[in-house]
Structure 1
Amino acid sequence: MDDGGANKPKPTYKRVLLKISGEALMGDQGYGLHPPTVERIAREVKAVRDLGVEICMVIGGGNIFRGLAGSAQGMERTTADYMGMLATVMNALAMQSALEGMGVFTRVISAIRMDEVAEPYIRRRAVRHLEKKRVIIFAAGTGNPYFTTDTAATLRANEMACEAIFKGTKVDGVYDKDPMKNTDAKRYSDITYDDVLVKNLKVMDASAIALARDNDLPIIVFSLDEPGGFRGILSGQGTYTIVHG
């Protein structure tokens, strides 16, 4: 790793996965993509990449289509989930465009083959991209219905030998209740996987938490709305909650 800059902080982790929701790309809109918001998040990713950290990403598709919602309205669940997976590809391509506009080499890797727009998932090739300091965006979830992008993120983080998952949200950590609705909500500085499951704290879905726990993969929950927050945490600063064993 390049340590030429005397002022360059040494990052806490060398390889991480950033998981964000599709809704994070909406900005103040109620639907779709908000280009200035996409660019702001891309700048956060670039700032971390510039520290020498190897980064992969998983982005949800809820800003375009949410499978469970479609299923609840009468659409067959498997079809609805596949539509949600395709929405994640659209978000991944938008983020790739923003990152490459900033000079960051980026690869979109899809669990559903669509060779004209994305690479197929081949683990060794993906690891090689990370070693070459390219940002990887994993799209289309696991390629299977009934699995969320949270589970896909935890799966890919383990396969890539990431040291942590960073979950970007609208709040600066995990609280005992919704801080948007409760002024007396208390933030945890750290919490165990089991407590997250028992207290049903909605950090990630239960399958993702269990997979992280079984592989001792820490989950760091932080605010994506705080400028420089992602880079700050990797530099040993900032406010966040770490979920661990």
Structure 2
Amino acid sequence: MQLVYRRILLKLSGEALMGDDSYGINTGVLDFVAGEIKEVVEAGVEVGLVIGAGNIFRGVAGASKGMDRATADNMGMLATVMNSLAMQDALERIGVDTRVQSAIPMQSICEPYIRRRAVRHLEKGRTVIFAAGTGNPYFTTDSAGVLRALEINADVIIKATKVDGVYDCDPVKHAEAVKYERLTYEDVLTRGLRVMDAAGIALAKEDRKPILVMNMKVPGNIKKAVFGEPVGTVISC
């Protein structure tokens, strides 16, 4: 088989790292995700990774309880750095050379985000984890994931979720939910489908960057995706 996507941006939610726990980082999930990434790196794929922080702190939730939104979002961005360092550790323990680059400078624990340096790391076969979102409040890690994908010229954005694609309604609550195989950016925006925030979808649309929504919990799904096998839902023009 031949690779369809040679450089990917993998967007992983913070909640995914909790596993069945109610909070924090489940090391079993961390090791599983690291193993899935290693499999595609060994196949020759260059991997960029953006991780959310919902398992530790979500800025919107803090703001809804009276906290200043900018302060809450800054806390959320710092929480993504914690998740990124944990993922780096899991990857390097199994032999995957990894760099963490933070949009908020903190040189004692990770590199500052520099686009050209990130691209060079990818070209050398290193996995790059982009931490601290965009470095600005009011932007989600979904938007950060699309932005980084555009900056590194990734072939596709893979959004890893707990379901096997995009449905017309919540498949967990509604047994009659219908899965979409393909959608356009306009479909997502006009139908109000909860794939990622509208800013991220609009940004991907402007650059015609495809988004693949798939189930991260199924072993081998990322590898299937990069080799072009039908997995999840594709969002494109």
TM-score, normalising length from structure 1? Answer: 0.96
| CA distance in structure 1 between the aligned counterparts of 2:35 and 2:69, rounded to whole angstroms | 36
- Residue 12 of structure 1 deviates from its aligned partner by 1.1
- For residues 1-245 of structure 1, the aligned pairs below 5 Å read 9-245=1-237
| CA distance in structure 1 between the aligned counterparts of 2:15 and 2:220, rounded to whole angstroms | 19
Q: State whether residues 10 and 51 of structure 1, in contact with CA within 8 Å, keep that contact through their aligned partners in structure 2.
A: no
TM-score, normalising length from structure 2? Answer: 0.99
- Residue 234 of structure 1 deviates from its aligned partner by 1.4
* Superposed structure 1 runs of 4+ greater than 6 Å apart: none
SS at match of 2:186: helix
SS at match of 1:92: helix
Q: State whether residues 6 and 226 of structure 2, in contact with CA within 8 Å, keep that contact through their aligned partners in structure 1.
A: no
SS at match of 2:99: strand
| CA distance in structure 2 between the aligned counterparts of 1:229 and 1:54, rounded to whole angstroms | 16
Q: State whether residues 5 and 227 of structure 2, in contact with CA within 8 Å, keep that contact through their aligned partners in structure 1.
A: no
| CA distance in structure 1 between the aligned counterparts of 2:202 and 2:7, rounded to whole angstroms | 21
Q: State whether residues 61 and 88 of structure 1, in contact with CA within 8 Å, keep that contact through their aligned partners in structure 2.
A: yes
| CA distance in structure 1 between the aligned counterparts of 2:159 and 2:68, rounded to whole angstroms | 29
- Give the gaps of 5 or more residues in structure 1: 1-8
- Give the gaps of 5 or more residues in structure 2: none
SS at match of 2:90: helix
Q: State whether residues 175 and 186 of structure 1, in contact with CA within 8 Å, keep that contact through their aligned partners in structure 2.
A: yes
RMSD across aligned positions (CA)? 0.7
**Identity value in percent:** 57
| CA distance in structure 2 between the aligned counterparts of 1:194 and 1:223, rounded to whole angstroms | 23
SS at match of 2:5: coil
| CA distance in structure 2 between the aligned counterparts of 1:194 and 1:33, rounded to whole angstroms | 35
